[in-house]
Amino acid sequence: MPAKRSPARRPTMKDIARRAGVSESAVSFALNDRPGVSEATRARVRRVAEQLGWRPSTAARALSGEGAATVGFVLARPADTLGVDSFFLQLVSGIQEVLAERHLGLLFQVVEDIADECAVYRRWWAEHRVDGVLVVDPRTDDPRPDLLDELGLPAVVIGGAPDERHPGLSTVWADDAGAMASVVDGLYGLGHRRIVHIAGLAGLAHTERRIRTLRAEAERRGLTGVESVTTDYSDAEGAAVTREVLRSAAPPTALIYDNDVMALAGVAVAAELGFSVPADVSVVSWEDSALCRMVTPWLSALSRDSMEFGRTAARELTALLDGGPARTVRVPVPRLVERESTGAARDA
Amino acid sequence: MPAKRSPARRPTMKDIARRAGVSESAVSFALNDRPGVSEATRARVRRVAEQLGWRPSTAARALSGEGAATVGFVLARPADTLGVDSFFLQLVSGIQEVLAERHLGLLFQVVEDIADECAVYRRWWAEHRVDGVLVVDPRTDDPRPDLLDELGLPAVVIGGAPDERHPGLSTVWADDAGAMASVVDGLYGLGHRRIVHIAGLAGLAHTERRIRTLRAEAERRGLTGVESVTTDYSDAEGAAVTREVLRSAAPPTALIYDNDVMALAGVAVAAELGFSVPADVSVVSWEDSALCRMVTPWLSALSRDSMEFGRTAARELTALLDGGPARTVRVPVPRLVERESTGAARDA
DNA sequence: TGCTGACACTCAAGCGCTTTAGCGATCACC
DNA sequence: GGTGATCGCTAAAGCGCTTGAGTGTCAGCA
């Protein structure tokens, strides 16, 4: 069909009203499943609307108090850290799946840091842009819950721990502590006594949970060669830390990486330093993705269903928007997929 | 909407008008830098607005014909193909950088296929949700330009070739043909005569451009052992194709992968089959990322600045929204970063 | 002095939708 | 056969903003 440069006006309720021979209000009632019109009229109006390809103008809807039919998602990452990260795209795509069903839009924004993120929330709120937001990367000392409370913006925190102080927020989280405990348990069983955890960003709630749990598990077993080192999640830092610990006097026999990218980088460094995986050092990636099957040996990884995580979060948010109570829901603990990068400790 | 705890009402222009002792219209004039108010009044109104933390309601703005202050971005990907892809996040983050300056929102949506994508455009248009859209992954036979034309939605096609038939669309593209020619040239110079191009999705405009160019270059030089094989960009297909071609009677001495993920998978397969890189087979990745420095040997790759790509596209879109003419702008040709995975052909 | 026009500002309509109040007709009921 | 409910629908206001058409004031000029 050749491009027709026609005006292409959007049909409005007035058009429908005229064609159906009723008032605008009747159309509104009919289209919104409200009492006030007969079934016959409702059907007729529906038919005309369909025929005209009518869709409610979100602007008008929002103006008359119905909310913006949009939820917000802010990713606070320094631009250059936005690397190879399958998690967020998958999360978002799960979120979308749920939102799309309800014709909710997703307003997305990448910013540099939390301060900017807060500014974005304020702006969105003042501009009536979103009805609620999804918050990721909760921190141990996080200004966002307070802000959202203050603004009265419904929100779901993704990956946070249950938070008593903000009863208005829903939380969707995975039990990192449990997962860490089971990983350590597994490694201990394989004879590993010196374990280094190459963690993610310090200050992130789940990073801290993992670190705390690792420390607790170590203490419980009287292990001394166990530590966590925080990084910025980049391959560069992952590699650097790996190099450092493997070169130490008593190198660890097992490495736990907080994401797949660092695990991969770590394996490369290990190879370079003459460490064989898993004979000399075992490696576990706390994130499963295609990457883990792209190196030799294949990486054992904690696998979770990120899309489902997103779906769950989105469902909680829609529930909140529907006036439901805030809830805390726990998604399944990530499952350790044992591949080739983990084995018995050499000196066991 | 459910009644949230504290009302926290947003200030409106009426509030400002009252506090400043002028009419709403005067406020509008003052705040929008329009003539009609004295500088003194303008300053006073500005001050009050600031003080009240006022921000225009996008809904109201949109309703009164000002547009939605939002642009749309649809990613059509089967959910399970959303893998490790640094390109899009970087692209989006470049886009945001430009949009944020102008306080434009980015409405983001992931869908299954192009048909859904078209449906989303129609919906967004009918709902007055976006003022323009950014289109990625243009195809050789693409229904989207026609649709956008019909809807009169300003749009920028990212990665398309210049398109005479749609004078209303802007295009931002990289010269894949030139890049491919230079890569082939380089490989030819190293003595490579049998080259296989593990391409991306058939039907994508840039995939076809690369394939056509490769064929042309091969013909020009009378090479017969040169071919392109299309894939779905996944590591699985990348690996499968690699395995197949390396096992053939006359295996290629150089492989060009359309993305980093497949290149990585390919290198793993090569190793598995006993091919040493680059001694037995050279590898080039058409996408540079951290991944390329995470394998041994480091991968030679075509590097481009994805964020800048995004910025350029966003700038074109804002220009279009400002009423500027549609343009076709070419971003710099990707540059081949020679690392360790390319070398002289063994049988040269 | 009277007239014009620039200027600073106000009024009111309108964008597309929701929603409350209200109106006439029908119906049940005593 | 009158009273009051109920039903199906319309009229009109209002959400927060823009905008074109006024209104009133004052400087400048003949």
Residues B150-169 pLDDT 10s: 999 999 999 988 888 888 89
pLDDT tens figures, A198-228:
999 999 999 999 999 999 999 999 999 999 9
Nearest chain B Cα to A78, which residue?
A: B93
Mean pLDDT, range A111-140, rounded to an integer: 93
Q: CB of A134 within 8 A of CB of A314? A: yes
| B262/B267 Cα distance (integer angstroms) | 9
Residue of A34, A107, A28 lying closest to A61 (CA atoms): A28
Residue of B51, B80, B56, B82 lying closest to B68 (CA atoms): B56
Is the distance between the Cβ of B103 and the closest atom of strand D smaller than 7 Å? no
Phi (first) and psi of residue B328, to 5 degrees: -120, 115
Q: CB of B264 within 8 A of CB of B86? A: no
Q: CB of A284 within 8 A of CB of A300? A: yes
pLDDT of residue B165: 86
CA of B122 to C1' of C18 (A): 24
Lowest mean pLDDT of A266-270, A295-299, B96-100, name the range.
A295-299
Lowest mean pLDDT of A102-116, B67-81, B113-127, B273-287, name the range.
B67-81
CA-only gyration radius of chain B, Å: 26
| A313/A96 Cα distance (integer angstroms) | 10
β-strands B328-331, B226-230: how paired? unpaired
Chain C: nucleotides below 7 Å from protein CB are: 7-12, 14-21
pLDDT tens figures, B86-96:
788 889 989 99
- A25 and B CB contact within 8 Å: no
Contact B108 A107 (CB under 8 A): yes
pLDDT of residue A4: 36
Torsion of Cα atoms, A148 then A150 then A152 then A158, to 10°: 20
pLDDT of residue A161: 81
pLDDT of residue A5: 39
Q: CB of B87 within 8 A of CB of B287? A: yes
CA of A19 to C1' of C22 (A): 25
Contact B268 A149 (CB under 8 A): no
Distance from CA of B21 to the nearest CA of A (A): 22
- State the pLDDT confidence band at B6, using cuts at 50, 70 and 90: very low
- Say which residues have a Cβ less than 8 Å from residue A24's Cβ, sequence separation at least 6: A13, A14, A17
Percent of chain A with pLDDT over 70: 95
Q: Check residue B336 and give left, alpha or beta (phi > 0: left; psi -120 to 50: alpha).
A: beta
Nearest chain A Cα to B80, which residue?
A: A90
- Say which residues have a Cβ less than 8 Å from residue A331's Cβ, sequence separation at least 6: A172, A173, A174, A304, A305, A308, A309, A312
Sign of the dihedral through C-alpha B293, B299, B304, B306: negative
SS3 of residue B54 by DSSP: coil
Q: Which nucleotide is nearest to B37 (CA to C1')?
A: C8
Residue type, A166: H
- A82 and B CB contact within 8 Å: yes
CA of B343 to C1' of C8 (A): 76
pLDDT tens figures, B58-76:
999 999 988 899 999 999 9
pLDDT of residue A3: 36
Mean pLDDT, range B138-147, rounded to an integer: 94
pLDDT tens figures, B28-54:
999 999 998 999 999 999 999 999 999
pLDDT at residue A52 tops 60: yes
- State the pLDDT confidence band at B79, using cuts at 50, 70 and 90: low
Mean pLDDT, range B104-120, rounded to an integer: 94
pLDDT tens figures, B184-234:
999 999 999 999 999 999 999 999 999 999 999 999 999 999 999 999 988
SS3 of residue B150 by DSSP: helix
Is the distance between the Cβ of B64 and the closest atom of strand D smaller than 7 Å? yes
Which token pair is B314? 């966003």
In sequence order, which ranges of chain B are alpha helices (DSSP H)?
A: 13-20, 24-31, 39-52, 58-61, 86-101, 114-126, 144-151, 176-189, 205-221, 235-247, 260-272, 306-321
pLDDT of residue A190: 96
Is the distance between the Cβ of A22 and the closest atom of strand C smaller than 7 Å? no
pLDDT at residue A291 tops 90: no
Q: Which residue has the higher pLDDT, B6 or B341?
A: B341
Which token pair is A193? 């006594």
Q: Across the A/B interface, how many CB contacts are shorter than 8 Å?
A: 218
Contact B68 A59 (CB under 8 A): yes
SS3 of residue A9 by DSSP: coil
pLDDT at residue B270 tops 70: yes
pLDDT tens figures, A320-343:
999 899 999 999 999 999 999 999
Q: What is the mean pLDDT of chain A?
A: 91
Which token pair is A279? 């004979």
Q: What is the mean pLDDT of chain B?
A: 91
Which token pair is A343? 């084995």
Mark which residues 86-125 of B lie under 8 Å from A by CB. Answer: 86, 88-90, 92-93, 96-97, 100, 103, 105-111, 122-123, 125
pLDDT of residue B3: 35
Mean pLDDT, range B277-292, rounded to an integer: 92
DSSP-derived secondary structure letter, A174: E
Contact B234 A290 (CB under 8 A): yes
Q: How many CB atoms within 10 Å of residue A202?
A: 15
DSSP letters for A84-143: S-HHHHHHHHHHHHHHHHTT-EEEEEEESSHHHHHHHHHHHHHTT--SEEEE-S-BSS-S
Q: Which residues of B311-344 are buried (b: 16+ CB within 10 A; e: fewer)?
A: bbbbbbbbbbbeeeebebeebebbebbebebbbe
Mean pLDDT, range B237-254, rounded to an integer: 96
DSSP letters for B201-251: -TTBHHHHHHHHHHHHHHHHHT--SEEEEE--S-HHHHHHHHHHHHHSSS-
pLDDT tens figures, A175-203:
999 999 999 999 999 999 999 999 999 99
| A226/A247 Cα distance (integer angstroms) | 15
pLDDT at residue A80 tops 70: no
Residue of A23, A24, A27 lying closest to A49 (CA atoms): A27
- State the pLDDT confidence band at A1, using cuts at 50, 70 and 90: very low
pLDDT of residue A6: 45
pLDDT of residue A67: 86
Q: CB of A157 within 8 A of CB of A170? A: yes
Percent of chain B with pLDDT over 70: 95
pLDDT at residue A82 tops 70: no
- Say which residues have a Cβ less than 8 Å from residue B318's Cβ, sequence separation at least 6: B98, B99, B102, B104
Which token pair is A156? 């779901």
